[in-house]
Structure 1
Amino acid sequence: MSAADREQRTEAADELCAAAFAGVAAPDSGVALVAVGGYGRRELAPYSDLDLVLVHADDVEPGDWATALWYPLWDSGHKIDHAVRSLTGTIEAADEDLKVALGLLDARHVAGDPNLTLQLRTAVLGRWRRHARDRLPRLHELVLNRHRLAGELAHESVPDIKEAEGGLRDAGVLRALVATWLVDVPHQEMERSRQALLDFRDQMHEHAGRAGDRVAPEMWPELAERLGFDDVVAVQMHVRRAGRRLTHLSRLTWQRVDRLTERRATLRGSRRPALEPIAPGVALSRGEVVLDKGAPVAGDPLLLLRAAAEAAERGAVLAPATVSRLVRDGARLPEPWPAEARQLLVRLLAAGRSLLPVWETLEETGATDLILPEWERIRLLPHASAIHRFTVDRHVVETCIEASALIRRVARPDVLLVAALLHDIGKGDLTEHSIAGEPIAREVAARIGFDAEEADLIGTLVRWHLLLGEVATTRDPDDPATIEHVVARLGTAEAASLLLALTEADARSASAKAWSSWRAGLVRQVGTRAHAALLARAAGASAPRIAEPEMVIPAAVLADPGAVHVGVEATGDGSRVLVVSGDRVGLLADAAAMLAVLRIGIRAARAWTQGQYGLSVWEVAEQHLDPGALHDRLSGIAAGRVDVSRRLARRAPSRLEPTVQIRPGASATATVLEVRMDDRQGVVHLVCSVLAGLGMSVRSAHVSTLGPQAVDVFYVQEEGAGILSEERAAEAAHAVREAVSALVETG
């Protein structure tokens, strides 16, 4: 598929439309059939609509011919987006509706009176230029709203080739901005990227057999083959690179447009100097950071970082021409970097949301190759995990932005920000990325001027940046062995404090789901306990003891231990359910069944005894739960009135076999049993029931969903005897494996 193919489709559509127009009794003059939008630009994709306007002179009344025209077009199988308007009505519609105006800027004559089409084009284009300064702020607002909804083509995990930022819609808007004569855009760069996206969209239509602009993950392999790329990563990078280039051009152009409209409103007649010095060798000119007059380009290796830091901190444009000149002619930084260079990099990374456009300019001009040549490893690299909304490189920048809001919580903001920049640098390697990234991070840290101890700290943060999230959601935070597991890997309280901030920044930049209030609470609990333990160790004291919770037993249960109490407490994004009754084997299984039968998603559970009473607390995803309804369901399950086995033991297809493993050494007081399988209701109940049948009790359960897979971890004890023997642990694993395998159909 190419521009020639689109031209052929357009010519065929023109012939069809011209024949339809010739077949109706339209007047010889004063009526024109006009193509607009993509059809007007001669860029029809295989399943594009034909966007048409039948324009008539103000003194020509449309007759039956204005309706009859469309029938042969409908009969041809094409989708038609059409309108019938007078010349004045068309111009007024363009004045009132920016979307109509954008389509008419590409108006092209198809049939009828060419003079009328010329009048229309002249009027619309003239009014567009005349009123541009007043209309462009509203257009920019529309564009930004669309970006908020569709995301960014270069970095979204499921990109929209048309509506996303950097997509075909933005390319059309850039053409409209150029048409105002207020700004210009590098034409060859824009067209190269636009044509690449048009070619890709043509192949999307052919592959899907229908119109569509969103690229689903399963489409990439076929599209790679159609476009002649070696693999899905190569074709994704090709498309995302085009989108990134259009995004960069679009942002720069809109920044210049905004300055034009602001200057018209507030700075008319201003005598401010063209160059305002803001730092050695760096100046501000019309909202852009540029080189000052006489800047020692070849003699100051800090100019590039200084300009970038100043632009980010001021929210100004980092002029691409300035960066390109510094990349080409500027002095190179010595290795290791001087302290001031490192400080400038940290200032850049700490700038918050303004970092994004500045880093984008550094990438587009090749400056990141000088500052961080390792960046090429992750540039536009797709994420393998469905939890991530961005490509790896954009995720890293977003992590730096999130980390910049947390720097007051840590003693070493510079270490936190550089660790955020490097935490995923190992991705793209066949080795686990945190392992692959550690030596790279140490090398980079040394090169940019950190001493050996600081480089070691950054390497540790990169190596263990997933640790708190994994441990918090799959291990019991109240078990001393869990905290010791974290402590042994970090070594210092400073590392624990920094890792907690890095974990939060990393999760927040991945997706909202990755940093829910429930997950955040667990991570902070583990992180702060590890920090306290490391502080105590450094002071030569014992780690703080984690006390068992003490709760007031409800009066009804005190009066009758056979009674059951169910309480509900609202949390940030879910609920906490408390179950209290006389202690008995199977109580936890019944509580799990209560939640599973009601299809309430379980996140974690903790169970303990308090005298003769059994208590359990369940963290669940649902809100607004009725404790009375929960109590009734639990009572029915305990009395045998609800057949839980029939309600929950339904086989379902699964791509992979479930796995059940014992995790030796994960706890000193319980045996840790881990179940991995497809995410589904009833697994916690099933496992608790199986273990209860073996006379074992579950002290706590922890449920973590990673994409389509659930990881359920159970802390199991002999009734009144603690950790299981090897034989009993093997018996438990075998029984649970048989039970969960019976739930799935693999294939």
Structure 2
Amino acid sequence: MWFSENDFLSCFGEENPVASFKSAIAKENAHLKLRFNPDKATTGLLTEKAHFIDNLLQACWKHFMGACDTHHGLVATGGYGRGELFPYSDIDILVLLDPACAEDYREAVAGFANFLWDIGLKPGLSTRSVAECLQAAAADQTVFTSLLEMRLIAGSTTLFETLKQQVNSDTLWPSEKFFPAKLSEQERRYAKFHDTAYNLEPNIKEGPGGLRDLQVISWVFKHHYKAASLRELIKYGFLPKSEYDNLITARDILWRLRFALHNLTGRCEDRLLFDYQRELAAQLGYFDANDQPDVEQFMQFFFKTVVDIERLNEMLLQLLNEKLISNKESLNPIPITANFSSIDGYLEASNKDVFQKQPLALLEIFLILQQSPSLKGIRASTIRLIRKSLPLIDEEFRQNKRANRLFMDILRQPRGITHQLKRMNRYGILAAYLPDFANIVARMQYDLFHIYTVDEHTLFVIRNLRRFSLAKHNKELPFCNNIFLLISKPEILYIAALFHDIAKGRGGDHSTLGETIARQFCQQHELPSSDTKIITWLVRNHLLMSMTAQRKDISDPDIIHDFALHVGSIEYLNYLYLLTVADIRATNPSLWNAWKDALLKELYISTHQALHRGLLNPMARSERLEENRKEAREELIKLGLSPTSIERSWQHVSDDYFLRYSGDEIAWHTVAIAACHDHELPLVLLRPQTLRGSAEIFVYARNEVQIFSICTATLDQLGLTILDARIITTADQYVLNSFQVLEQSGKPITDLHREVHICTSLRHGLLTKTVKSSKNIHKQSRQAKHFPIKTTLTYLENPSHKHTILELVTTDRAGLLSTIGRAFTEQNIQLHDAKITTIGSRAEDMFYISALDGTPITDQHQRQALRDTILQLLSG
């Protein structure tokens, strides 16, 4: 499909030129889509689209500019200037004005620009004289960058050549200024993506290792050397032909993916969203095989491609820095060891045979970097040697005791552990030295909870642990920093972190499989048996603390005692707590909040007290109960309540109440209950900040079966996330319900008007037994629909035999808890407690229930009826 300039000019003679142009653009895009083959390079298609737009713009320019079409200039910039135009890319153009007659043609230029918008091109258009271009370029390197690849489309050759000559001179942005500016820009761009290419929904243009990385190299290199193409990287000795070919292959892969994305979405889309990953995997020929889904194989292929680009970007920018910025003196080798010298602050192998003659130097080089903090990294030529020498890390190398000692030395250093492990992963050393680690490199965890690949997540866990050890990060999580000071051997934590998820993707329990792999590592590296015992225990139990905190009632002394029995010692508790916090924060930073922080801290403190007291002398429930009652009474007397008033307020509540609420919470409730008359019920209170970092909403009312359903539905409609629910029913049928909540953003409630609105809305709903409809509700995320979770309902054993425990696992959705409440109402079920756990889009909730008379539900028919009702309501 081809449209010449004359074809477009003739469209202006038609009755509806806008419709004709739109039709031509649609036909061209359809034609490109038809010709696109995901197995072949897209270079020709990108060039064709650029020529198509050239002809379209030339026709529009002649039509609107008329006689002045040679006085001014129409210039392509950016990607369009390079002739790389994807189906729905923005069209970056510059109208270059002749100041002598600019005012005479302002209206014509406006008409030209408006027409482009009318036909749907969405141009990135600027209008400037040569002098204005140079002024803007001098002030902003991004403007200068866009002009580096400009190309004349129509109009004045004289104006264009004048601008081009000035832009290509070395005075406007000399290389020694331009290079650091682009480097700084790249660092800021990387920071937006947490300095990792391994995101679940990566941006193939802007993300680390994306197309922008290649463009940065191109801009810096072409500007300095006035080069026509990247192929001249070979000519100037920056890349051998093999690496250049790898660079172009990787670029072509990303081009194909971006082209396919545009075709699939019908817009300029550069994010590899879940919505498109399966379709793209199918287009590229992936299919489910060996228990690995097609999309995981496809994403692993993508991640390995971008990490190659990221590594080449690192090497080339370093080499360009040497040529463009560094002085000659800094390029003189400074001996560091017999094997390595420093050149411009980077470690360089003394000769090309270093690794062949001494393979252990493949580990030694990273230890030297740790021990010499003034060094900036490894020189590009040596990175090449490392990559070339990876086959030397064979089984004999891995069994070598000197190699084992070197690896342990790296993990025991006081600085640089995270940086060097990341380098070792990027250069392939970790996967070569630890074959089990190779299994998790670029492995995607296809859910909404884990936003990084397994290897990247693992390194983030180690980074978080390292931050706990550094005083400069003390303000981040001071409690963790204080606990870290009690750790005698930090390397135990780092090894446990390295292996905690190493068996992901193998099928079976990754914790148990990982324990076996960790034990083999410890034995091979001759760790003391006591260290091996802690490491393997941590790997096997790395989920224990988070699951206990989130899914069990940690106010119950029996729960704490059972957990303390499992942990066994304060030393193990310290290690487990730090690993748990680091793991959660490295899984998905947005899911970490004050609630989880406070919950884990509370479990740690309670368990520490239990272990300190002695496992043979556990705290009885009666002791905890009396402790809370005493603390609350003392606080209430300070507030001016009489002992009579206190006892009257407490006369109907059960022992469970004093067990499950702290003295502070009991005092807060009691003050309100004492001042409230029956005719004023329901009583709704809100504390915006509790010791657990969340807001607490407290409801005191006469018991009615639909209270839980109304409360949860109203809170959901108000856009609040329910973290926990505690349900207490008194002997004379009053309820004391409390809900720990946060805003949907994960932040606490900070606005007084918001507090009043929440209390008013909830009280109104309880009085009228209705839920007010509102647009401010929880909406299922766009991504969640790609991870459907099969609903399962399981009745669990309850050690106390007091209530029946019902576990629900399902996809989190709006109104989930209120739906469960409806089911309880329909089946005459009484709710006593609820543990709410949401992991990404996965809800794992536990309900402590009984029949209306308070007895456990043991009848299988009644259990099945409740299960059927819940499934029916959820599916409806």
TM-score > 0.5 by shorter chain: yes
Paired amino acid for 2:205: K
CA distance in 2, matches of 1:211, 1:632: 46
Report the Cα offset of residue 286 of structure 1: 1.9
Deviations 1:485-540 (A, max 9, x none): 54565555433322221111111112233321111222333344445555666x75
Structure 2 vs 1, CA of residues 152 and 271 (structure 1 numbering), >3 Å: closer, same or farther? closer
CA distance in 1, matches of 2:260, 2:819: 48
Match of 1:568 in 2: 686
Can you give the 5+ residue segments of structure 1 that lack an aligned partner in the other structure? none
Paired amino acid for 1:82: L
Q: 2:201 aligns with which of 158, 162, 169?
A: 158
TM-score normalised per structure 1: 0.83
* Secondary structure at the counterpart of residue 224 of structure 2: coil
CA distance in 1, matches of 2:676, 2:608: 43
Paired amino acid for 2:399: E
Alignment map for 1:92-491 (pairs within 5 Å) = 92-112=135-155, 114=157, 116-127=159-170, 131-150=174-193, 154-181=197-224, 186=239, 187-230=244-287, 231-252=294-315, 274-275=333-334, 277=336, 281-291=339-349, 297=355, 302-311=360-369, 314=373, 316-326=376-386, 328=388, 333=397, 335=399, 337-338=401-402, 340-347=405-412, 351=416, 355-356=418-419, 358-407=420-469, 408-409=484-485, 410-480=487-557, 482-483=559-560, 486-487=563-564, 490=567
1:601 and 2:721 are equivalent in the alignment: yes
Deviations 1:110-140 (A, max 9, x none): 3445565444333212247753323444444
CA distance in 2, matches of 1:12, 1:633: 59
Structure 2 vs 1, CA of residues 701 and 88 (structure 1 numbering), >3 Å: closer, same or farther? same
Report the Cα offset of residue 275 of structure 1: 1.4
Q: 1:48 aligns with which of 89, 95, 106?
A: 89
Alignment map for 1:487-526 (pairs within 5 Å) = 487=564, 490=567, 492-526=569-603
Report the Cα offset of residue 35 of structure 1: 2.0
Match of 1:554 in 2: 670
Q: Is the 8 A contact 1:153 1:244 kept in 2?
A: no
* Secondary structure at the counterpart of residue 221 of structure 2: helix
Q: Is the 8 A contact 1:36 1:107 kept in 2?
A: yes
Q: Is the 8 A contact 1:154 1:380 kept in 2?
A: no
Report the Cα offset of residue 198 of structure 1: 1.5
CA RMSD of aligned residues (A): 4.3
Structure 2 vs 1, CA of residues 261 and 57 (structure 1 numbering), >3 Å: closer, same or farther? same
Deviations 1:441-476 (A, max 9, x none): 333333344345533432332232222222321221
* Bigger Cα displacement from structure 2, 98-107 vs 692-701: 692-701
Q: Is the 8 A contact 1:40 1:107 kept in 2?
A: yes
CA distance in 1, matches of 2:436, 2:413: 18
Paired amino acid for 2:81: G
* Secondary structure at the counterpart of residue 47 of structure 1: coil
Deviations 1:553-572 (A, max 9, x none): 63563476745654433147
CA distance in 2, matches of 1:661, 1:580: 31
* Secondary structure at the counterpart of residue 661 of structure 1: strand
* Secondary structure at the counterpart of residue 237 of structure 1: helix
Paired amino acid for 2:581: E
* Secondary structure at the counterpart of residue 164 of structure 1: coil
* Secondary structure at the counterpart of residue 396 of structure 1: helix
TM-score normalised per structure 2: 0.72
CA distance in 2, matches of 1:103, 1:630: 51
Match of 2:475 in 1: none
CA distance in 1, matches of 2:547, 2:618: 25
CA distance in 1, matches of 2:189, 2:501: 29
Q: Is the 8 A contact 1:400 1:420 kept in 2?
A: yes
1:724 and 2:856 are equivalent in the alignment: yes
Q: Is the 8 A contact 2:557 2:620 kept in 1?
A: no
Match of 2:80 in 1: 39
Q: Is the 8 A contact 2:686 2:759 kept in 1?
A: no
Size of the alignment, in residue pairs?
Answer: 731
Q: Is the 8 A contact 2:386 2:427 kept in 1?
A: no
Structure 2 vs 1, CA of residues 304 and 628 (structure 1 numbering), >3 Å: closer, same or farther? same
Report the Cα offset of residue 45 of structure 1: 0.8
Report the Cα offset of residue 102 of structure 1: 1.1
Structure 2 vs 1, CA of residues 589 and 44 (structure 1 numbering), >3 Å: closer, same or farther? closer
CA distance in 2, matches of 1:375, 1:228: 27
* Bigger Cα displacement from structure 2, 119-128 vs 159-168: 119-128
Deviations 1:40-61 (A, max 9, x none): 2121112223323343566665
Q: Is the 8 A contact 2:823 2:870 kept in 1?
A: no
Can you give the 5+ residue segments of structure 2 that lack an aligned partner in the other structure? 1-35, 37-41, 226-232, 288-293, 470-483, 626-658, 744-748
Structure 2 vs 1, CA of residues 584 and 212 (structure 1 numbering), >3 Å: closer, same or farther? closer
* Bigger Cα displacement from structure 2, 151-160 vs 57-66: 57-66
Structure 2 vs 1, CA of residues 416 and 518 (structure 1 numbering), >3 Å: closer, same or farther? same
Deviations 1:238-274 (A, max 9, x none): 33233223333434555677789996xxxx8978974
Q: Is the 8 A contact 2:450 2:588 kept in 1?
A: yes
Report the Cα offset of residue 703 of structure 1: 0.8
Match of 1:4 in 2: 44
CA distance in 1, matches of 2:184, 2:255: 25
CA distance in 1, matches of 2:730, 2:790: 38
Report the Cα offset of residue 95 of structure 1: 1.8
Paired amino acid for 1:618: F
CA distance in 2, matches of 1:621, 1:218: 29
CA distance in 1, matches of 2:119, 2:704: 74
Paired amino acid for 1:707: G
CA distance in 2, matches of 1:611, 1:283: 80
* Bigger Cα displacement from structure 2, 100-109 vs 585-594: 585-594
Report the Cα offset of residue 698 of structure 1: 4.0
CA distance in 1, matches of 2:760, 2:798: 40
Q: Percent identity?
A: 23
Deviations 1:194-224 (A, max 9, x none): 2221121111111222222112112112212
